Amino acid sequence: MTLAVHGSSVDIPTPDGTADAYLVHPESAGPHPGVLLYMDAFGLRPSLNGMADRIAAAGYTVLVPNVFYRAGRTPLVELPDFIGDDQRPAIFQTVLPVMRALTPELAVRDAGAYLDRLAAEPRAADGPIGVTGYCMGAGLALRTAVAYPDRVAAMAGFHGAQLASEAPDSPHLGADRITAELYFGHADQDAALPPEQIERLEKALTDAGVRHHAEVYAGAHHGYTQADTSSYDAEAAERHWTALLDLLGRALPTRRGAAL
């Protein structure tokens, strides 16, 4: 049984300004374990908010920040209801410079503000939280688990990009700081995370003794979880939901029974 949820727009103070965000929680009595959801490059929109709603319906308080807030409030670019291959070039012409401006240092600083907002939320339970991210958001989720090990109990990333590159600031290089349990759902048709990076990430996590499980979803493309895009794969998306909610259930058990 899923819980009824309530969502609203909120503002998050950060060292560099104010980030707009979507906050959703069960309508039943809380508090509920917190989850930070990192967006993909297309940003906050009804489809992504709906994904946060589904997590909240399982018994969590979920925060989805606009990580591009320095460039403006949502939406940075007007999106069609369905993002097809023909719309992507024009969208990324606007979005790519903003993505590149979000340096690892800024991302980690912002993550502290997002974690503080969840910690201050009456509907969010005290203690460590879960983090999940999609596409570019998977890298942000991994960086958050590295930078705030005492505040993150579980981290999931789906069709992540550049998670284990040869760059000196690649997020996998901080694996030895992670204390959370991790799950990755990679897409095997994904130029943003080729096999050599999947292997490099696996080795880094294994060598660091990180509790983790990674799977490559056969036939899935980059963005397979996003129902409002042409990359969507319904079967792979449902597989991701099972893996994500299983991870959160292990690391952050809910009070759904008491709430019901």
Looking at residue 256, its pLDDT comes to 54
Residue 65, token pair as written in the block? 């920040």
Looking at residue 196, its pLDDT comes to 97
Is 142's pLDDT higher than 70? Answer: yes
pLDDT tens-digit series, residues 180-193: 999 999 999 999 99
Closest CA to 69 of 12, 115, 145: 12
Catalytic site positions: 135, 190, 222
pLDDT band at 71 (very low <50, low <70, confident <90, very high): very high
Separation between Cα atoms, residue 183 and residue 158, nearest integer Å: 9
Is 119's pLDDT higher than 90? Answer: yes
- The predicted model gives 233-253 an average pLDDT of 97
Separation between Cα atoms, residue 253 and residue 119, nearest integer Å: 17
Tell me if the pTM is above 0.85. Answer: yes
* H helix runs in the chain, sequence order: 46-57, 88-101, 104-120, 136-147, 195-207, 234-251, 256-259
Looking at residue 30, its pLDDT comes to 84
Looking at residue 106, its pLDDT comes to 98
| Residue located via tokens 């201050």 | 120
* CATH code for position 40: 3.40.50.1820
Looking at residue 255, its pLDDT comes to 67
- The predicted model gives 172-180 an average pLDDT of 98
Within 8 A by CB and 6+ apart from 166, the residues are: none
Task: Look at the alpha carbons of 4, 80, 223, 227 in this order and tell me if their dihedral is positive or negative.
Answer: positive
Domain, as residue range, for 77: 5-259
pLDDT tens-digit series, residues 213-232: 999 999 999 999 999 999 99
Looking at residue 259, its pLDDT comes to 37
Closest CA to 3 of 23, 18, 24: 24
Looking at residue 29, its pLDDT comes to 84
Q: Phi first, then psi: give them for residue 152, nearest 5 degrees.
A: -125, 120
Is 152's pLDDT higher than 60? Answer: yes
* Domain tally, the chain: 1
Q: Are 125 and 151 in contact (CB under 8 A)?
A: no
Separation between Cα atoms, residue 99 and residue 171, nearest integer Å: 16
- The predicted model gives 135-161 an average pLDDT of 98
- The predicted model gives 102-127 an average pLDDT of 98
Residues of the chain with pLDDT > 70, as a percent, come to 97
Looking at residue 260, its pLDDT comes to 33
